[in-house]
């Protein structure tokens, strides 16, 4: 459903009016600026709608002496704090005073840093309040020729504050209140009328971008896909529509609103929002349907501001060639009948896996097409014992079919022989303290193990003609029909209708033909999203057509990989 191009926000989108916001303006005096310095005084003023609601002031007794220079700067001496309450008494009282309020401070990072660390040391929960920094607000609201700097004393004079700051906490907090009110009056003339506007203004969110927040009012509060569009004339003057960016969310309205707030930090997304002329939505029955629709739209439309998932089909595989003495080949596509393994995201990753198999099985690495009847000379790898030289048609040729079958078997099932093939080498490297080389071998085998799990995870889904599964949700049950790894239907239903809804979904689901080469009938990325959903706790299988199963030992229990690589025996260091 296309949204309207109007940018006037509705009343629901305006946020909390500044006149209704309770601010607690706080200032701290400390023994220094380091993280281990201590608070010596707290001053705070609570205000709302321009009226003072209360004040909080107390000295604080630190555990160490106040440095002389700090005593000169603040006027707070060791004698003054000798009978003051400790921070363990002061901070709980301040927490109660400032509860549910927006915290305001001049150079807020300093004050909130001390407060947060103090809360944590006392075991208090830091409430993560909304914070307004009058330094940042002044830099956004005032022109450079109005004030020479944004020091509290400078701003207090500029706004004719009733209290002169003097490095005492309550006086500085009172001066900051006057500065805050002066700044709020200034930004109010720039269209900042709510707390949300104020935070976004401080973060330098442009008025045009804030105004586009009204687009989110068209979005439903449900799972779905959203996409930003640009309608612009081409060279011939014809209006052309371009999809700029596709995303998904479990709550479309909340997610789309975030693009027009200070929460969005990505520069390219700022540019995308600036050139967009609207945003449109596709409501979905479930979160998984939203994920899958997003993937399919990104793949088909290739929006210029999306970075991920645009090349879902660009993957690499290892396969055994069909010739007298098969070898490993890195390919971008597999065909029916190919003995293959993968996928790998890059060609380099596929080559690394090939090196693992060369070490384990001593397959030939040459690309020459060998004859099964006529011998040919061997290469240097055979002389080094890293290839059995089937080209010579001797014992190596006789043993070679068994090696090839070993590779194929490791792909079909048990990954442990490949992992265990490096035990001797790994133990030797560690005994010789060649830890960097051992780490490289370990990383290569760990990557191979992950690929084995990935391969069987998607292959098992691809082989299953149909799975109907459901998981409890706020609506009752989210139900999905999955055919050969592809999401064919999605719906949700209350508990009393779950079974009937599942049958209806299966009856109306997309027809999916059996895939070629044992691959899913969708992109690998979609199959992995579907697999991740099926593996969630609480998923219930309603109906199956085919076997959804993995061979034994295609993966290892958590923590078992080091034992497979090194063996169960303790390592014995070499002695000189």
Known catalytic residues are 167
Residue 546 tokens read as 């085919």
365, 325 Cβ separation under 8 angstroms: no
The CA dihedral of 75, 81, 82, 84, to the nearest 10 degrees, is 160
DSSP state of 237: S
Exposed e or buried b for every residue in 235-267, given b needs 16+ CB within 10 A? eeeeeeeebbbbbbbeebbebbbebbbbebeee
3-state secondary structure 115-181: HHHHHHHHCCCCCCCCEEEHHHHHHHHCCCCCCCCCCHHHHHHHCCCCCCCCCCHHHHHHHHHHHHH
Instruction: Give the integer Cα–Cα distance in Å for 302 and 575.
Output: 60
Q: Angle formed by the axes of helices 169-188 and 195-202, to 10°?
A: 100
Instruction: Give the integer Cα–Cα distance in Å for 382 and 369.
Output: 17
The Cβ-side half-sphere exposure at 388, using a 13 Å CA radius, reads 22
26, 44 Cβ separation under 8 angstroms: yes
Q: Angle formed by the axes of helices 423-431 and 435-463, to 10°?
A: 150
Instruction: Give the integer Cα–Cα distance in Å for 1 and 215.
Output: 12
Instruction: Give the integer Cα–Cα distance in Å for 454 and 528.
Output: 8
DSSP state of 217: G
Percentages (nearest 5) of helix, strand, coil residues in the chain: 40, 20, 40
Strand order in 22-30's β-sheet? 51-59, 39-48, 22-30, 102-105, 131-133
């Amino acid at each position: 459903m296309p949204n309207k191009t109007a940018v006037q926000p509705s009343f629901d989108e305006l946020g909390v009016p500044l006149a209704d916001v309770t601010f607690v303006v706080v200032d701290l005096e400390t023994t220094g600026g380091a993280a281990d310095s201590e608070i010596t005084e707290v001053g705070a003023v609570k205000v709302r709608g321009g009226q003072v609601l209360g004040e909080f002031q107390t000295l604080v007794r630190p555990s160490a002496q106040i440095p002389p220079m700090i005593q000169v700067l603040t006027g707070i001496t060791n004698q003054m704090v000798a009978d003051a309450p400790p921070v363990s008494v002061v901070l709980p009282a301040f927490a109660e005073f400032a509860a549910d309020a927006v915290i305001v401070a001049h150079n807020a990072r300093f004050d909130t840093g001390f407060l947060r660390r103090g809360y944590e040391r006392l075991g208090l929960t830091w409430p993560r309040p909304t914070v307004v920094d009058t330094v940042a607000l002044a830099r956004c609201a005032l022109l450079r020729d109005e004030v020479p700097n944004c020091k509290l004393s400078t701003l207090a004079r500029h706004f004719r504050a009733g209290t002169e700051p003097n490095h005492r906490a309550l006086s500085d907090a009172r001066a900051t209140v006057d500065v805050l009110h002066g700044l709020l009056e200034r930004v109010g003339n720039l269209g900042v009328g709510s707390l949300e506007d104020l935070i976004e203004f401080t973060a330098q969110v442009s008025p045009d971008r804030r105004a586009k927040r009204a687009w989110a009012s068209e979005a439903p509060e449900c799972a779905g896909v959203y996409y930003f569009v640009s309608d612009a004339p081409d060279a011939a003057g014809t209006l052309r529509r371009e999809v700029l960016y596709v995303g998904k969310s479990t709550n479309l309205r909340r997610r789309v609103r975030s693009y027009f707030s200070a929460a969005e930090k990505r520069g390219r997304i700022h540019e995308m929002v600036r050139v967009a002329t609207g945003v449109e939505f596709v409501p979905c029955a479930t979160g998984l349907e939203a994920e899958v629709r997003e993937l399919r739209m990104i793949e088909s439309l290739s929006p210029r501001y999306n970075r991920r998932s645009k090349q879902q089909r660009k993957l690499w595989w290892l396969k055994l060639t069909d010739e007298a003495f098969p070898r490993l080949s890195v390919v971008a596509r597999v065909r029916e009948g190919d003995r293959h393994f993968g996928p790998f995201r890059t060609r380099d990753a596929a080559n690394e896996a090939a090196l693992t198999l060369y070490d384990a099985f001593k397959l030939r690495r040459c690309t020459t097409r060998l004859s099964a009847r006529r011998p040919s000379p061997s290469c240097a790898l055979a002389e080094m014992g890293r290839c059995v030289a089937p080209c010579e048609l001797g014992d190596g040729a006789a043993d070679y079919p068994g090696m090839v079958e070993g590779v194929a078997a490791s792909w079909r099932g048990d990954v442990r022989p490949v992992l265990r093939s490096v035990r001797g080498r790994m133990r030797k490297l560690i005994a010789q303290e060649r830890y960097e080389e051992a780490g490289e071998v370990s990383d290569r085998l760990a990557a191979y193990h992950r690929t084995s799990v990935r391969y069987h995870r998607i292959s098992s889904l691809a082989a299953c003609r149909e799975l109907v599964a459901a998981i409890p949700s706020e609506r009752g049950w989210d139900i999905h029909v999955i055919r050969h790894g592809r999401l064919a239907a999605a719906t949700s239903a209350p508990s009393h209708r779950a079974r009937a809804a599942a049958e209806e979904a299966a009856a109306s689901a997309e027809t999916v033909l059996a895939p070629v080469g044992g691959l899913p009938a969708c992109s690998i990325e979609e199959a992995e999203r579907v697999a991740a959903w099926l593996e969630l706790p609480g998923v219930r299988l309603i109906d199956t057509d085919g076997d959804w199963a993995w061979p034994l030992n295609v993966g290892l229990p958590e923590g078992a990989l080091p034992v497979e690589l090194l063996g169960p025996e303790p390592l014995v260091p070499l002695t000189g």
